[in-house]
Amino acid sequence: MVDSRRLREVALTPEEYRVIVEKLRRPPNPLELGMLGVLWSEHCSYKTSKTLLRRLPSSGDAVLQGPGENAGAVEIGQGWAAVFKIESHNHPSAIEPYQGAATGVGGIIRDVIAMGARPIALLDSLRFGPLPASRHHFDGVVAGIGGYGNCIGIPTVGGEVYFDECYAQNPLVNAMCVGLVRVDRLMRARAEGTGNSLLLVGADTGRDGIHGASFASVELDETSAERRPAVQVGNPFLEKCLLEACMDLAHTDAVVAVQDLGAAGLTSSVAECAGRVAGAGARIDVSLVPRRERGMSPYDVMLSESQERMLVVVQRGREAEVERIFQNWDLTSAVIGDVTDDGHLTVFNRTELVARLPIDLLTDGAPPRRLVGIAPEPPPALRLDSLPPLVNAAQSLLRLLASPNLCSRRPIFRRYDHMVGDSTLIAPGGDAAMLRLKGTRLGLAMTTDCNARYCHLDPNLGAQHAVAEAARNIVATGARPVAVTDCLNLANPDRPEVYWELEETIAGLALACRALEVPIVSGNVSLYNETFPARGQGDQPRSGRPDGEVPLAIHPTPVVGMVGVIDDYAQRLEAGLKKEGDFVLLVGSSHNDLGGSEYLKVEHGTVAGRPPALDLTREAAVNRLIMAAAKAGLLRSAHDCAEGGMLVALAECCLIGGMGVRCPAIRPEGTLRLDAAFFGETPGRFIVSAASRAMPELQTLARRHHVEISLLGMAGGETVEFEGQFRLSLSEMRQAWEGGLIN
């Protein structure tokens, strides 16, 4: 029996060790134990979430590849497939923000390359503690994303960022990559064909990142800084060469499969590639792996997470042909083994057998963890009747526009190259980004969304909102939502209330994705995003958890990445008002939805109540109306109402369009409060603008879709005015909006 310290090092439990010995009918040697440790880590095995994840819908007419591959793929028309995936790099970014974020970007790009697709866009969903305290995380992560994306030449076109205390020690960095490939050239990372060669290409293997996957599968604590060697260092230039060389592989038919080396390095890469083919195995010789340093043991080589490496399965006898392609880009490549039919991963160091493990034990052997979820105390209720009425709408609007959660993201996205590729039709700063498919009229819209405050107040409903808002953002460009990739960020599921959050989150995602007909084709789960802040930096590491100490845990943050398609990008819509004299309209109706709102937080200093009720049937109807109106050319602009409600959305339409609006006073009817009419966050609403001549047809269309549409005012001028209520100049608003992140 190994000692418990050794087991903790490889992040395995005694029970898991018992299962390993039983299956192997012998104790694993230290290398085998390390290999099983990384592949059985939560990060690689999804042992806590995998039974729940099966509840997510993943099929649909457009789906070419669902979960289980390096990335998902959907057909988007004219023979093209969009390949995409989102992945977390939270723990590394907490310890080393620049490299953590940079390698997060690098890793997700390789996932898309492995599918045979050319990466065309990046998006990043970020969460930090409040500024200025979390400035080091924020600056490092933004610089790291830019450093990698700008150098490799893939535009960073979208994403989101929110600030909340719960992320102060657990910032979230979720990177999404979208790629394009002809449907008939879509690749799968399957190690087919006994005797075919395994070619390792790209960076030499070093000692960096050993046990990164295991590190990502425990809570951060005061010893985490010592884990810095578990964070890898990125080389975007090398990956650019790797990317181009992999694109050049299309010129040969000698390549069977391409697999990224990510978490758990060579071990995971080879095992997953073989694991996708029934009965397949692999035999590798670690002495053939090109190394960055001397004296590396087989253990180091098998577990290294050195970046910018790919595994290529090549037809036997055609290795030289493929190696020439990599040589052209001055990339190292080496045949390190071959595909077998014995269902085992067998590792040699020259002639010495150093490990032999069944593939299915590695990839699928981790016993699912059956945890119990218990609902925590519900959050404080919101008593609307005790909420003071709105005093000064103009001042509230200015404070909301300056809120770090709502203000202009320009200080961030102008640090990212968002135009390289000559395809960016809708740049960052609006709802979804949109890229054209060169040589066609097709536009591909993409977004990431999650209001984690909603998820904190109600994980199920919050997850539904994340899907609904992503869909609205896609629809606001005129595109049709097609499919989803998700990144579930949660705290430690061993605590029953967190496991309950996980269950509820997945239930909410499943419900909303089914209702809005957007299958989830890829995704990632990041657990253990919590820390014990009471333990000071200088304290001695303690083992176990002190009784009664409450961890600082993140809100459940299920980030939804969504793509959509517009058949003719000439019909695309942007958020900004376009023309003086256009009618500005509110699509959808407003209710007293102040629960969990940004208004409540900014103006009343509380997070309370339930998120707004969400009628998914109604969402779908409103979305259909906007898509139909865009297609009929009836709209000049569209913007979805989200955090900050109608008035913030309207202000954004004005600020983005550089044009004011003049509206009659808002006199809410019935029980609707004025603060809710202005700042409530009722879903299913858009601000649109239209030429007066389009109005009759637009109203007819709205009636046909049973969607309420009401006139807000008329575009034009340099102010936002609600007659008799308030008037603000665009310049005053702009000052608030553009200064929100600079402090």
Among 47, 127, 436, 555, which residue sits at the site for other proteins (rule: CB under 8 A)? 436
- What part of residues 19-38 is at the interface with other proteins (CB under 8 A)? none
* Distances, alpha carbon 571 to alpha carbons 131, 445, 476, 626, in Å: 39, 13, 11, 12
342 by DSSP, 3-state: which?
Answer: coil
Q: In sequence order, what are the residues at sequence separation of 6 or more whose Cβ sits closer than 8 angstroms to the Cβ of residue 158?
A: 121, 123, 428, 432, 433, 446, 447, 448
Mask 214-243, x = binds other proteins (CB under 8 A)? ---------------------xxxx-xx--
Among 371, 420, 628, 663, which residue sits at the site for other proteins (rule: CB under 8 A)? 420
Q: How far apart are CA 309 and CA 242, in angstroms?
A: 8
Stretch that binds other proteins, among 76-84, 434-442, 471-479, 731-739 (CB under 8 A): 434-442
425 binds other proteins (CB under 8 A): yes
Beta bridge mates, 486:
523, 560
295 by DSSP, 3-state: which?
Answer: coil
For residue 677, what are its two tokens?
Answer: 């009419």
424 binds other proteins (CB under 8 A): yes
Comparing CA positions, the residue from 360, 327, 385 lying closest to residue 39 is 360
146 binds other proteins (CB under 8 A): yes
The separation between CA 681 and the C-alpha centre of its own chain, rounded to angstroms, equals 23
Q: How far apart are CA 575 and CA 650, in angstroms?
A: 9
In the bound state with other proteins, the residue whose beta carbon lies nearer, of 184 and 422, is: 422
344 is catalytic: no
330 binds other proteins (CB under 8 A): yes
In the bound state with other proteins, the residue whose beta carbon lies nearer, of 133 and 570, is: 570
The separation between CA 450 and the C-alpha centre of its own chain, rounded to angstroms, equals 10
Among 183, 233, 394, 427, which residue sits at the site for other proteins (rule: CB under 8 A)? 427
For the bound state, the minimum distance from the C-beta of residue 420 to other proteins, rounded and expressed in Å, comes to: 6
Q: How far apart are CA 37 and CA 11, in angstroms?
A: 6
Residue 72's φ and ψ, nearest 5 degrees, are: -85, 165
For the bound state, the minimum distance from the C-beta of residue 143 to other proteins, rounded and expressed in Å, comes to: 8
- What would the DSSP string read from start to end of 127-141? EEPPTTTTHHHHHHH
Among 38, 74, 86, 152, which residue sits at the site for other proteins (rule: CB under 8 A)? 152
For the bound state, the minimum distance from the C-beta of residue 135 to other proteins, rounded and expressed in Å, comes to: 14
The 8-class DSSP code of residue 118 comes to: E
Among 190, 418, 456, 555, which residue sits at the site for other proteins (rule: CB under 8 A)? 418
Residue 720's φ and ψ, nearest 5 degrees, are: -105, 120
In the bound state with other proteins, the residue whose beta carbon lies nearer, of 343 and 739, is: 739
For the bound state, the minimum distance from the C-beta of residue 421 to other proteins, rounded and expressed in Å, comes to: 7
Residue 478's φ and ψ, nearest 5 degrees, are: 95, -5
* Distances, alpha carbon 370 to alpha carbons 213, 494, 515, in Å: 21, 10, 28
706 is catalytic: no
150 binds other proteins (CB under 8 A): yes
Out of 89, 211, 456, 465, the active site residue is 89
For the bound state, the minimum distance from the C-beta of residue 339 to other proteins, rounded and expressed in Å, comes to: 31
In the bound state with other proteins, the residue whose beta carbon lies nearer, of 443 and 644, is: 443
Helix segments in 120-250, DSSP class H: 135-152, 212-215, 236-248
Q: Residue 445 carries which side chain, given as an amino acid letter?
A: A
In the bound state with other proteins, the residue whose beta carbon lies nearer, of 154 and 720, is: 154
For the bound state, the minimum distance from the C-beta of residue 251 to other proteins, rounded and expressed in Å, comes to: 14
Cis bond leading into 132, ω under 30°?
yes
- What part of residues 632-651 is at the interface with other proteins (CB under 8 A)? none
In the bound state with other proteins, the residue whose beta carbon lies nearer, of 151 and 334, is: 151
Among 67, 209, 234, 421, which residue sits at the site for other proteins (rule: CB under 8 A)? 421
How many degrees, rounded to 5, is the angle at CA 239 between CA 234 and CA 240?
A: 130
Among 438, 667, 703, 704, which residue sits at the site for other proteins (rule: CB under 8 A)? 438
For the bound state, the minimum distance from the C-beta of residue 9 to other proteins, rounded and expressed in Å, comes to: 35
Comparing CA positions, the residue from 445, 490, 444, 448 lying closest to residue 469 is 448
Which single residue is written with the structure tokens 């549409």? 709
For the bound state, the minimum distance from the C-beta of residue 105 to other proteins, rounded and expressed in Å, comes to: 14
Among 80, 528, 569, 686, which residue sits at the site for other proteins (rule: CB under 8 A)? 569
151 binds other proteins (CB under 8 A): yes
Binding site for other proteins (CB under 8 A): 146, 150-153, 235-238, 240-241, 244, 329-330, 413-425, 427, 436, 438-439, 569-570
For the annotated catalytic residues, the residue numbers are 43, 89
